[in-house]
């Protein structure tokens, strides 16, 4: 190799090394630039607020939501048991059981509990196949009876064993029927109200109305002291929940038999008896003497009834938030007491014959 060729070779290797050095430098500087860029992006992210304001998205109505809205809009009419109660076919509780048993039909279809009906001239409601007259029943005068229930009668319309019921001695009606306002057990006597208005009966019985019931009680048992009475006023736990007497008044008595007047604001099954039994005391006699402000008439014999006048009927209606009645079936021109005594004697006599036959 000549000297000239050697010089040319050295120049080429020098230029190649120079170019490689520039590339390395560019690569390093590029790395530095990229790292600084990443650092700037991270600082920007930190500077930004972490939470963004929520924007409500417009939800398009689905087919199911549209159906639910349409169903809610289509709920019209009154509950079937309410219509029938107003028509004098019984209390709502009784009618709910009848509807659940499949005994009621509306326009030829068996009704279910919870059905609503929009009453019109073409509406046909049947109970056990019998057509119920709805429009005339809306104009029916609200009537209320006071009945002195004797011991031994059942608070039911009919008894499979043929025992006497509280409906046996009531006056007969045309186009309506008597509905008992609550119940008294077979061994309890006293005031029992009957009405032709199912809505009135239902409201008077409902616990939310807190209508007072007063009973005269004869108890037999251990020594009854003030501590026991205080427990009964404060409340004790029964099988179906807590219960208490609103008021307890000592009336009298001798020995182990003592009389008390007690007041409740509900009518659970055998509640008075169970409250005393929770204290180890036995109830030997129980008489209901008041319902709301309606007191048992002193001159009314056991098994007798008396129809209430307009003033007493409207007291009961106002008590439960119903409009006042303007008409009455009671003839105010006649001597009501004399007429009632005749009716009572006749009813008691007929009932006595019936009991002897049974």
What is the mean pLDDT of the segment spanning 276-298? 94
The rounded distance, in Å, linking the Cα atoms of 357 and 295 is: 33
Tens digits of per-residue pLDDT, 19-51? 555 545 454 444 545 555 554 555 555 555 554
Tens digits of per-residue pLDDT, 202-226? 999 998 999 999 999 999 877 788 9
What is the mean pLDDT of the segment spanning 119-140? 79
Q: Quote the tokens at residue 20.
A: 């490689």
**Strand partners for 191:** 148
The rounded distance, in Å, linking the Cα atoms of 310 and 308 is: 7
What is the mean pLDDT of the segment spanning 9-25? 53
185 has catalytic annotation: yes
What pTM was estimated for this model as a whole? 0.63
Q: In the prediction, which pLDDT does 42 show? A: 55
Tens digits of per-residue pLDDT, 240-278? 999 999 999 999 877 778 999 999 999 899 999 999 999
The rounded distance, in Å, linking the Cα atoms of 34 and 86 is: 87
Q: Could you tell me which of 308, 311, 305, 297 has the C-alpha nearest to residue 330?
A: 308
Assign 67 a pLDDT band (cuts: 50, 70, 90).
low
Catalytic residue, candidates 31, 40, 159, 185: 185
Q: Quote the tokens at residue 81.
A: 């048991």
Mean pLDDT for all residues in the chain? 80
Residue 18 pLDDT more than 60?
A: no
What is the mean pLDDT of the segment spanning 178-193? 95
Q: Are 124 and 176 in contact (CB under 8 A)?
A: no
Higher-scoring residue by pLDDT: 331, 24: 331
HEC profile of 238-266: ECCEEECCCEEEEEEEECCEEEEEEEECC
Q: Are 121 and 161 in contact (CB under 8 A)?
A: no
What is the mean pLDDT of the segment spanning 131-147? 78
Q: In the prediction, which pLDDT does 341 show? A: 57
Residue 339 pLDDT more than 90?
A: no
Higher-scoring residue by pLDDT: 13, 76: 76
Q: Quote the tokens at residue 99.
A: 């509807």
Assign 200 a pLDDT band (cuts: 50, 70, 90).
very high
């Amino acid at each position: 190799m000549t000297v000239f060729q050697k010089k040319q070779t050295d120049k080429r290797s020098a230029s190649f090394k120079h170019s490689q050095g520039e590339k390395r430098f560019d690569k390093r500087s590029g790395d530095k630039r990229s790292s600084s860029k990443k650092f700037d992006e991270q600082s920007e992210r930190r500077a930004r607020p972490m939470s963004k304001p929520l924007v409500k998205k417009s939800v398009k109505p689905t087919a199911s939501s549209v159906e639910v809205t349409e169903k809610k809009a289509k709920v019209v009419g009154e509950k079937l048991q309410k219509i029938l109660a107003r028509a004098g076919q019984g209390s709502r509780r009784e009618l709910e059981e009848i509807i659940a048993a499949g005994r009621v039909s509306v326009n030829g279809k068996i009704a279910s509990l919870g059905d609503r009906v929009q009453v019109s001239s073409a509406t046909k409601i049947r109970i056990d196949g019998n057509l119920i007259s709805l429009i005339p029943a809306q104009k029916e005068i609200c009537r209320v009876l006071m009945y002195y229930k004797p011991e031994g009668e059942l608070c039911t319309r009919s008894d499979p064993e043929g025992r006497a019921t509280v409906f046996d001695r009531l006056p007969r009606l045309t186009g309506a029927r008597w509905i008992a306002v609550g119940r008294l057990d077979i061994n309890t006597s006293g005031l029992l109200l009957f009405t032709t208005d199912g809505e009135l009966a239902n409201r008077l019985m409902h616990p939310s109305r807190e209508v007072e019931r007063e009973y005269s009680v004869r108890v037999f048992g251990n020594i009854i002291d003030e501590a026991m009475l205080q427990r009964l006023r404060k409340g004790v736990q029964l099988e179906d929940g807590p219960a208490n007497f609103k008021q307890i008044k000592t009336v009298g008595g001798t020995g182990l038999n003592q009389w008390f007047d007690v007041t409740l604001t509900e009518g659970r099954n055998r509640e008075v008896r169970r409250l005393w039994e929770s204290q180890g005391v036995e109830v030997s006699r129980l008489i209901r003497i008041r319902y709301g402000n309606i007191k048992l008439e002193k001159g009314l014999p056991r098994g007798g009834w008396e129809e209430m006048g307009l003033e007493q009927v409207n007291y009961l209606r106002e008590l439960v938030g119903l409009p006042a009645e303007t008409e009455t079936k009671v003839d105010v021109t006649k001597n009501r007491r004399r007429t009632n005594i005749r009716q009572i004697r006749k009813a008691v006599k007929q009932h006595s014959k019936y009991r002897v036959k049974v």
